[in-house]
A = this chain, B = another copy of it.
Amino acid sequence: MTITTHTNQTGPDNGVNVEALLGAREAMTAMPAAAAFTFEAQSEWINGTHTRTTVEEFFGIGEQQRHRRAFELDTDHPEIFASEDQGITPPEMVLVGLAGCLTAGIASVAQHRGIQLRSVKASIEGNMDLQGMLGIDGDVRNGFSGITVRYDIDANASREQIEAVIAQSQKRSPVFDVVTNPTTVAVELV
């Protein structure tokens, strides 16, 4: 299957190839099996709370795909917990994914609606009561009690139009969905 790409855009250019996305939608509507993706990662424990995870391949459009290169990402705990702080913490990694997902959506939706973005900044905060994770209070959850994402966007559009772009991005965001809704996770020992 080939996703046809047209790049004769006129008007706003946020660097998103909306024609390619529309082409993908058209192709996947005709052949839904092409939309079945599997994202993959391989992690290896380094020492203590330090883990290195490699992302290189994924499956989609009916075959095994490959990123341009292998990406290695380190997670660790900070020094206040007597760890070596060799990377951001795993919950912070989720915040990075959420910010990246919503922002890519904003750029894509804005492009589709003819809105030129000049800058899109987000400040994201996730509150977590460590009494859960540390087993101090069983009524406190381990994860975030709540997350707030504050966007500061400069674009050639009204505040209402920008708010509508943000809302549409939320509506389609995979990571927003994963964080706000339950997902089944199976953990197995080979």
Among A43, A153, A176, find the residue whose CB has the most chain B CB atoms closer than 10 A: A43
In contact, A159 and B35 (Cβ under 8 angstroms): no
Binary CB contact string for chain A from 56 to 83 against chain B (1 if under 8 A, 0 otherwise): 0010110001011001010111111111
9 cross-chain pairs, A with B, having the tightest CB-CB distances, nearest first: A75-B100, A93-B97, A15-B48, A143-B177, A90-B101, A20-B82, A45-B120, A43-B99, A17-B82
| Residues of chain B within 8 A of A124, CB atoms compared | 40-43
In contact, A129 and B37 (Cβ under 8 angstroms): yes
User: Which residues in A have some Cβ–Cβ distance to B below 8 Å?
Assistant: 3, 5, 14-17, 20-21, 24-25, 28-29, 32, 35-45, 47-51, 53, 55, 58, 60-61, 65, 67-68, 71, 73, 75-83, 85, 87-104, 106-108, 117, 119-137, 141-153, 159, 162-163, 166, 170, 172-190
Given contacts A25-B136, A90-B175, A189-B163, contact A129 B20 (CB under 8 A): no
In contact, B44 and A121 (Cβ under 8 angstroms): yes
8 further interface pairs, Cβ-Cβ under 8 Å (given A3-B81, A68-B78, A152-B190): A24-B81, A43-B99, A75-B100, A77-B104, A90-B174, A93-B94, A133-B173, A151-B187
This protein's copies in its complex: 2
Query: How far is A53 from B97 in the complex, measured between Cα atoms in Å?
Result: 9
Q: Which residue of B lies closest to A22 (CB)?
A: B134
